[in-house]
């Protein structure tokens, strides 16, 4: 009799649906990213079932590359991917070690290898997330030690891929150039996931969510002013999606605090709503607002 495989039960028992539902709640937008994560999760469940039936060989390659602009949720998704991999039993530990070039590359001969190996030791059994990974390769500097870190990483990614998942992240164009210069990396990356920029409506929803989490809210005029900010800011360079939204809201909250503190010193009695509400002046006068200087 052919053994039956309850794939849906495996998916449910591992809590994958719950983990992905949390991702839906916590991250606005990113529909193509969420679709790819579901595909990866389904693939891993199927591979487990195939392995148990003797139909698959070896550990699947799970190393990934996340490409997109700043503030599009790459680190957050990496954390959730670490959780999913652990729930499915593909990693021993539910943890993620996030690093950049400075954590891996030394400044003198003999410094890089121990730094890189220490990071790998800390990440082993889980996920290693390397942000702006293209900075590991600097061909213009012949005395750069990034290549040594790359060689160590490649060896571990191949020989210990059953005990470590590596996720590289960065701008798409720079990661494409990095892979062209380092074909060993490209051949070890099985999953390439692109993170789109947020739309204006999504960024407004993100702002509402960020404020709500801190017990703040816009009044009607402030909400309209912030929408104007987003419209203008999206047309300018160096906009970092959710990160720029967070920075703008932080400036607005500082302005609000100064405004209501001055009112209190003048004898005003403040209500809870006034402590929570951002007014239009907090948005338009909050340094540096796009009305006066487009930064953030």
How do the pLDDT tens digits run along the chain, 296 residues long?
456 778 888 778 778 888 888 888 888 999 999 999 889 888 888 888 888 778 866 778 899 999 999 999 999 999 999 999 998 889 999 999 999 999 999 888 888 999 999 999 999 999 999 999 999 988 777 678 888 999 999 999 999 988 999 999 999 999 999 998 888 888 899 899 999 999 999 999 999 999 999 999 999 999 999 999 999 999 988 899 999 999 999 999 999 999 999 999 999 999 999 999 999 999 987 544 444 444 44
pTM > 0.75: yes or no: yes
8 A C-beta contact, residue 253 and residue 283:
no
200-284 to CATH, choices 3.40.50.300, 1.10.8.60, 3.60.21.10, 3.30.1020.10: 1.10.8.60
Domain span(s) for CATH 1.10.8.60 in the chain: 200-284
Give the separation between CA 24 and CA 209, rounded to whole angstroms.
13
How many Å is the Cα radius of gyration of the chain? 23
Q: What is the CATH number of domain 7-195?
A: 3.40.50.300
Peptide bond into 288 cis (omega under 30): yes
166 C-beta neighbours (distance < 10 Å), count: 23
Q: Buried (b) or exposed (e) across 94-120, using 16+ Cβ within 10 A?
A: eebbbbebebbbbeeeeebeebbeebb
Orientation of helix 146-159 relative to helix 112-123, angle to 10°: 30
Domain span(s) for CATH 3.40.50.300 in the chain: 7-195
CA 41 to chain CA mean position, Å = 18
Tokens of 251: 């400036």
């Amino acid at each position: 009799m052919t053994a039956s495989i309850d794939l849906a039960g495996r998916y449910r028992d591992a809590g994958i649906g719950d983990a992905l539902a949390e991702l839906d709640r916590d991250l606005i937008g990113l529909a193509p990213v969420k679709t790819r994560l579901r595909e990866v999760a389904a693939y891993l469940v199927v591979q487990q079932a195939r392995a148990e039936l003797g139909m698959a060989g070896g550990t699947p390659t799970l190393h990934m590359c996340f490409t997109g602009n700043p503030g599009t949720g790459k680190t957050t998704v990496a954390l959730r991917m670490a959780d999913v991999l652990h729930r499915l039993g593909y990693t021993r530990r539910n943890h993620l070690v996030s690093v950049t070039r400075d954590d891996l590359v030394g400044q003198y001969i003999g410094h890089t290898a121990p730094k890189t190996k220490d990071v790998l030791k800390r990440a082993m059994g889980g996920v290693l997330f390397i942000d702006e990974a293209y900075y590991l390769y600097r061909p213009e500097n012949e005395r750069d030690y990034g290549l040594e870190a790359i060689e160590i990483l490649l060896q571990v990614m191949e020989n210990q891929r059953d005990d470590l998942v590596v996720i590289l992240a960065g701008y798409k164009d720079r990661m494409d150039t990095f892979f062209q210069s380092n074909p060993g990396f490209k051949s070890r990356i099985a999953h390439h996931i692109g993170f789109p920029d947020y739309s204006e409506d999504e960024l407004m929803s993100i702002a509402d969510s960020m404020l709500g989490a801190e017990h703040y809210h816009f009044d009607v005029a402030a909400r309209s002013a912030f929408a104007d900010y987003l419209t203008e800011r999206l047309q300018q360079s160096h906009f970092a999606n959710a990160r720029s939204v967070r920075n703008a809201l932080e400036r607005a909250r500082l302005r609000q605090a100064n405004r209501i503190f001055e009112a209190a010193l003048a004898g005003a009695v403040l209500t809870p709503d006034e402590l929570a509400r951002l007014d239009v002046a907090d948005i338009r006068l909050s340094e540096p607002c796009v009305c006066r200087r487009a930064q953030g």
